[in-house]
Structure 1
Amino acid sequence: MTVPSGSAAALLCSFNWTGRLPEVRQVAWHKSTEGTPSLVVHTRDLFQENKNQDKEFAGRTYLAASWFEKRDASLNLSNISINDTGLYQCQISTERPKASGVCADIKLTVTPGMINGNDFRVTQPRSLEGFVGSSVDIPCSFTYPESFNPTKIDICWRRHGFHGRFIFNVSKPYTHPDYRGRIEFLGFPYRDRTGTIRINHLKQSDQNRYFCCVETTGDYSEKWQSLVGTELIVGARRPPSTTAQLISSVTAASSRDGAARGETLEPGEILIIRSSFALAILAIVWLIGIYLMKTQQVTDSPDQRVREETQRETSGSK
């Protein structure tokens, strides 16, 4: 994945999970470069976020709080610099049931950014790939002269061409019928100068070229957008990758559920437990048999005495 400096990037990571929700779930993104140990880019669990994040990435990462429910641990990285070049890995781990796996391995290459015009610039990746039924983030970052003080920033998106039809507008708000209920706005225009969107439940018809447009008002009004946009290629299905490893490990752990502890016993220990269980059942059956025999004896005793007295009376009369 190659992006220019000063832009934003979406590092995609989706996974599968079946069974009940784990009690503990955590995702961690790491970055490593040749000769440099891995740095924690972003972490999130049920209660804390970025508790171990490296200062290099502070304030530049975003990961949705509902990542596990949506089965999507994608990371948005903004204000990218040349130093961000490296290999990024997403790791997911859970407890009760226990599972872990690598969700994504992404090589990010950052190239020097190009300044166009009077520092009014919109930067997008030239192309992205998604798959039918999944989601994809289309990054957008923008700049303007430091002397310019906008009072309002509006972000909108077009498709097909530079003057193509609008499909999304943050301020109005407006979403084209083809995308209704499927577009999320992930940008932070005022804080990070980003206008990233996410398209959920991708369709084959979503394959198109997308353009981010920025409109501001302040000292004066200005409107600018990307010249080439981002070409989105939508594949029929996700190919096998490291994601499959996570799917298999997580699914296996969830199907075992509470029985996972029993599978960790040695074969000899399992045999002893089964034998003890069988002996316990036999002991219970033996005790029940003794109890029934004694009950029968108590019940039969009065009848026996009556028969003996009758025999004695019969013998005396003779």
Structure 2
Amino acid sequence: MNLIQLKTVQSGEDVLLLCQDHRGADIVLVKWIRPDLETELYVFFFRTHRAYKNYQHPSFHGRVTLRDPQSKDGDASLILKNITINDTGTYDCYVGLKGNSPQLINSFHLKVKDSDQQQITVKTGDDVTLQCLDHRGGDIEKLEWMKQDLKKNISIYKHEKMHKDEKQNPSFNNRVELRDPQMKDGDVSVILRNININDTGTYECYVRNSNTQPQPQLISNITMTVIDSGGDGGDKDRHVGLIVGLSVMCVLLLVVGVSFMIYRICKKHKMRKRRPPIHEAADRDLHVLNPEP
């Protein structure tokens, strides 16, 4: 039973997937497959000292070679060039010897980390630059910016021109432009204007250039979180509301305190009015002591 080996690489790198057949006979067939691909095409197909491109999945065209094209000493190891996020998956190596059926020799699970993954936070109403730099060289023939949760692209550029057609999501009409219209030095960054809450999500940058295979390749992705620019204002409003509330409470307490003091003063004043004057009380007492004859 073959154990699956885990291999982790960065996007843009080349990776060597080892496969060594020690049965000691001449190799006549090598098949590298990706079981998760929705097709019967191979990562690499080699028979009688020749690679067959028509049996190969298009995403691997021009990117795969045997380490030893002669497969000496049972070496069927594979070199996969210019790794992308889409290359994440399981790779199985089958080797066929003369007079025998192909056998599974080795399995790898390849995990690709995006070296250009970015996390950004912006406010509604702002403009933001989604950065993507293609360092592979060559003339850029096609650029696609996509948002993962949308069925249509946010922008498509071909030969330095923006193609506004049915493939662009309407919510991005007139909001996307190249940072550098000439795309010098592989700068395919775009400016997204007037950000809104619905723009939250993950954006992917795909590029096809003259040095690579026909299908555009994922260069970078950006996860953008959009916050409401009124959020800070709301906090300030709550802060002001708290201050106003406390001020009103203090005024009410002051009014209650003053009212209580006035009440005490009025009460004392009424009590004094009810009490007879001192000299009248004294006359009554004297009359009691010295009644008239």
Could you say whether these structures have the same fold, taking a TM-score greater than 0.5 normalized by the shorter chain as the test? no
Which structure has more relative contact order (CA 8 Å, sep 6+)? It is 1
> TM (normalized to structure 1)?
0.33
Based on CA coordinates, which of the two structures has the bigger radius of gyration? 2
